[in-house]
Amino acid sequence: MEIVIVGLGAGGLYSSKSALSYNRKCHVTIIEKRNFDQFSPCGLPFVIEGVVKDFDELKYNVPEVKNRLSKLLFHEVVSVDAKRKTVKVLDLATSKEKEIKYDSLILATGASPIILGISGAKEFAGRGVHFVSDIDNSEALLQAAEYSNKKKAVVVGGGSIGLEIAVGLKKLGLDVAVTKRTPPPFPRSLEPSMGSIIIEHLEQLGISVLFGKGIDRINGKNKVESIEIAGENIDCDIVVMAVGMKANARLSELAGAKTEKGFVVVNNRMETSVKDVYAVGDLVQTYSRIDGTPTIMQLATSAYRQGVAAGINAAGGNSSYPGALNTFVTVIGGLEIASTGYTLETAKSLGYEAKAFFTKREIKPHYMPDAEEISIGVIVESSAGKILGAQALGKQGAAWRINLFALAIHGGMTVYDIMDAELAYNPPVSQMYDPVSQVAEIALKRLRLPPKECKKIFFPV
């Protein structure tokens, strides 16, 4: 059995691993445009920030398995013939083409940075306009920052990558501004009140925040000299575009796969609309774990799980992807920002009678010298207290608390269940009555839900 995987990101890697593990008789060929194996794109901003020593630290090799796993690096799939079950592959070093047959095809082609359709965006690419999506363009940004004459940068976009890069450039000694057309950061993940905390944190770091103001044009002669935002000219020689990623769906479309809004539609087996063609990762439209609503989740964690399911199925098995909760965390200048599930706005737009409840509490007893506060919130279905989403911000402990809520949503739990949960306590790490339990109690009381029915348990004498 021959399985061809196009793309060696998280989705492609774990597709190959699960296929080889499930079916000992299959052969896997991975085709990748890069001239090296794997790297961690999530680590790119932290090289720029100086947390990670250099970009080579992000690379790691995928060993070939004799007679079972082959890699074609610096090769590109240029066409797919789904009827004949073949792909045409171009050797980027020699410009020679060859055809490879497959029994199952897994497309893990990822996504590429969105380029805004404004004056100067394309013209100055590589001459002041930068992206952060791979090692090459990240190295170019780092070099530009080190040799910048003006030492002034503007980051366009207020998502994880944009804000992480803004912090990194600030640590390199640049004056940094962040601009975003819509006011709150992370609108798909956080309530506006949580966004306000992030803005305040960025300003405390010395980063100018220009949210609610879109970039109009990029000015310069042979390179970037300034940008125009809401009619105001801002001096800079570095512009970082971080406004999102566009699915690399061209091969999927060539294969005849159904797409919606530029993303490849898949089912819970990660099958496309074309027989024996699967798709995983940043290029797919998946569905919500909560209720099956179509959603986009461009995160490594989802690509990994989708890859596991696709690999098993491509190798003849039967595995399903459980759906996405959009559970994410980012760290911006020491502040953990985490969320899972729906925001209140999203929940209401989907027809839920929902409410949001927030509180700010210390994560350790007050007498501990490093007791920090955490802002934590929960989105709850009003009638029964079912948890639909949760959000947390803090210098410590936000990530693991959101992971706990993600498990709760995954299991269909309510605020009653969270209040009943027995959580670990010791003063150096937590409160006796954790903020997770406290926000659940606040939700229960404000919703005026009835006390949980007591069930008698008889113990043997």
Domain ranges of the chain: 2-112+246-314, 129-243, 334-447
CATH no. of 334-447? 3.30.390.30
Cα–Cα nearest to 292, from 320, 316, 317: 320
Kindly provide the b/e burial profile for residues 57-91, where b requires at least 16 CB atoms within 10 angstroms of the residue's own CB. Answer: ebeeebeeeeeebebbbebbbeebebeebbbebbe
Q: Please give the structure tokens belonging to residue 158.
A: 């207020």
CB 150 within 8 A of CB 236: yes
Cα–Cα nearest to 172, from 296, 48, 31, 32: 48
* Dihedral class, residue 206 (left if φ above 0, else alpha if ψ from -120 to 50, else beta): left
What is the amino acid identity at position 405?
F
Catalytic site positions: 42
Written as tens digits, the pLDDT of the chain (461 aa) is: 999 999 999 999 999 999 999 999 999 999 999 999 999 999 999 999 999 999 999 999 988 888 899 999 999 999 999 999 999 999 999 999 999 999 999 999 999 999 999 999 999 999 999 999 999 999 999 999 999 999 999 999 999 999 999 999 999 999 999 999 888 899 999 999 999 999 999 999 999 999 988 899 999 999 999 999 988 999 999 999 999 999 999 999 999 999 999 999 999 999 999 999 999 999 999 999 999 999 999 999 999 999 999 999 999 999 999 999 999 999 999 999 999 999 999 999 999 999 999 999 999 999 999 999 999 999 999 999 999 999 999 999 999 999 999 999 999 999 999 999 999 999 999 999 999 999 999 999 999 888 777 666 777 76
Secondary structure (3-state) at 345: helix
Secondary structure (3-state) at 438: helix
Q: How far is CA 381 from CA 236, 421, 438, 441, 450, in A?
A: 47, 19, 17, 14, 14
What is the amino acid identity at position 185?
P
Which run of H or of E encompasses 19? helix 10-22
**2-112+246-314 and 334-447: same fold?**
no
**CA dihedral of residues 179, 180, 184, 185 (deg, nearest 10):** -80
**In terms of CATH architecture, what is 2-112+246-314?**
3-Layer(bba) Sandwich (3.50)
Q: Residue 326: how many CB atoms within 10 A of its CB?
A: 23
How, if at all, do strands 59-60 and 38-39 pair? antiparallel
User: Does domain 129-243 sit in CATH 3.30.470.20?
Assistant: no
Q: How far apart are CA 8 and CA 13, in angstroms?
A: 6
